[in-house]
Structure 1
């Protein structure tokens, strides 16, 4: 639980970053804040002191506290050596490899990392951005939150831009904010993966996609394109869509399909990522079916555990560590005021044992 002074500090900082409190505007008095937050004068002064040290606030002797011209103040400070990484997850799945790749490059160049986790929640993203903006950052590597939607935190990204804090985006980008990005060619990857199944005799292929992220939208587009290129089997096209916080709904929909008669259920399932593919394989086993004898499964990301499953999972590669390294290199170029270009990675199919030919 946050300390009381941290709650006051966050509340004031958020209003400064939003523009509710403008440059040179006087903040509420210590007495008002003591009343509003039910805290002591010492607690209020500690919060204001932190904001003053971070150049967001200045004091006038006998006149109170005021909002500093913080964007200008920070712009002319010595170049900071701290880089923030804002990700939907930081400790699981493919994200440690991305972060490790970035850290290798940044640490070699004398930078340290600060990590923040949004859990793909815009409210948490706002909190994380606010906290990061309160630090003396040299730049940001950002994985967008619910990237299929316009960011509700556009005001903070615009403030970061005004502060001249360099940013690069990984895995996706926001439609309503321009920036250098490093992404996989998700549409082409899923077009290839779906065609791979079709060439092996599969018609009834279920595609399962997290559509709150642009990666999922593009992957579904690739799946649909493959079917559109084979109009004779188009009626068998069965996409399942879910939001990031509704994965259990998607798993229930898969379970319902698995419960159908053999002639009605799918012969293959292509999953948004390996994490979902692994859970799908568990569902298949739970109902007494086998992979790939009864149902073939393909994932995406080449997650480390995928090659240790039984059967080993057929999947598409994700750049992971290279993406982290390249994101760090691009950010360093931006810090040096060099021109940068976005990067698109191709994915390769890794054939393992979770797909079989059917007649």
Structure 2
């Protein structure tokens, strides 16, 4: 739990960064802040002192505290040897591999890391960005949060850009903020996966895609594009779309499909990622069916555990560690003011044991 002075500091800092408090604007008095936050004078003074040390605030003797020209001060500082990585998650699934790849390159060049995660929640992203901006960073590697929508934190990203803090984005990008990106070819990858299943005789394929993130929308579009090339079986396709906090609802919808008669349930399922595919395989077993004898399953990302399932999961590759390495390299180039280009990784189908032919 944050200390009281940290709560006061965070609130004032966010108002400064968002522009609610303008340059040279006087801050509320100590007494006003004591009342607003229900804290002591010492707590207010400690928060203001921190902000003054970080060049966001200046004091006038006998006249109160004011918003400093903090953006100019930050621009004139020597480039710090600290890089922030902001991801939807940092400790699970494929993210440790991405972070490790970035750390390999950054540590070799004398940089250290600060990690933060958003759990794919824009409010948590705002808090994390605010905290990172107070750390005096040399650059940022960012995985967008709920990238299918315009970021509500555009004001903070604009402030970061104004501070000349280099940024690169991994896995996705925001429609309302341009930047250097490193992404998989999600649409084409799932298009090829769907074509692969159709060639193996599957007609009733269900795609299950998280549409909070632009990756999921691209994958959904690849799935639909493949079926549009096969209009004779288009009516037999189905899709389940869910937001990042609706995974359980998506699995319930999946269960309802699985318990239908054999001539109505899907013969194959394409999952948004391996994490979801693993849960779908468990669900198939729970309802008394087998993979791939009854239903074939394909994931995405080549998660490490996927090859140890029974049966081993057919999936699509993800650059992971290389993406992290490349993101760090591009960021270092941007720090040196070199021109860089975005990267699209071409994913490959990894055939294992979770797909069978339909005779």
Shorter-chain TM band: over 0.9
Structure 2 counterpart SS, 1:232: coil
Pairing 1:102-121 to 2, within 5 Å after superposition = 102-121=102-121
How far apart in 2 are the matches of 1:63 and 1:331? 42
Query: Structure 2 matches for 1:1-359, cutoff 5 A?
Result: 1-359=1-359
- How far apart are the structure 1 equivalents of 2:140 and 2:13? 19
How many Å separate the matches in 1 of 2:320 and 2:349? 15
SS of 1:83's partner is strand
Shift of 1:154: 0.4
Q: Once the two structures are superposed, what CA deviation does each residue of 1:75-127 show, in whole Å capped at 9, x if it has no partner? A: 00111011000000000000000000000000000000000100000000000
Q: Secondary structure at the match of 1:283?
A: helix
Structure 2: gaps (5+ residues): none
CA distance in 2, matches of 1:225, 1:34: 59
Counterparts of 1:187 and 1:176 in 2: how far apart (Å)? 21
CA distance in 1, matches of 2:132, 2:71: 14
Deviations 1:172-217 (A, max 9, x none): 0000000000000000000111111111110000000001100000
Q: Which deviations, in whole Å up to 9, do the C-alpha atoms of 1:135-194 show, x marking residues without a partner?
A: 110000000000010000000000001111000000000000000000000000001111
Q: CA deviation at 1:231?
A: 1.2
How far has the Cα of 1:5 moved from its partner? 0.1
User: Partners in 2 of 1:225 and 1:39 — Cα distance?
Assistant: 59
Runs of 4+ in structure 1 displaced over 2 angstroms?
none
Under a length normalisation based on structure 1, what TM-score does the superposition of the two structures give?
A: 0.99
Runs of 5+ consecutive residues of structure 1 not aligned to the other structure: none
Cα distance in 1, alignment partners of residues 106 and 53 from structure 2: 26
Structure 1 position 128, deviation (Å):
0.3
Distance in 2, Cα, partners of 1:316 & 1:37: 51
SS of the residue 2:233 aligns to: helix
After superposition, what is the alpha-carbon deviation per residue over 1:266-289, rounded to whole angstroms, capped at 9, x for unaligned? Answer: 100000000000000000000000
Q: Secondary structure at the match of 1:235?
A: helix
Number of residues of Structure 1 aligned to a counterpart in Structure 2: 359
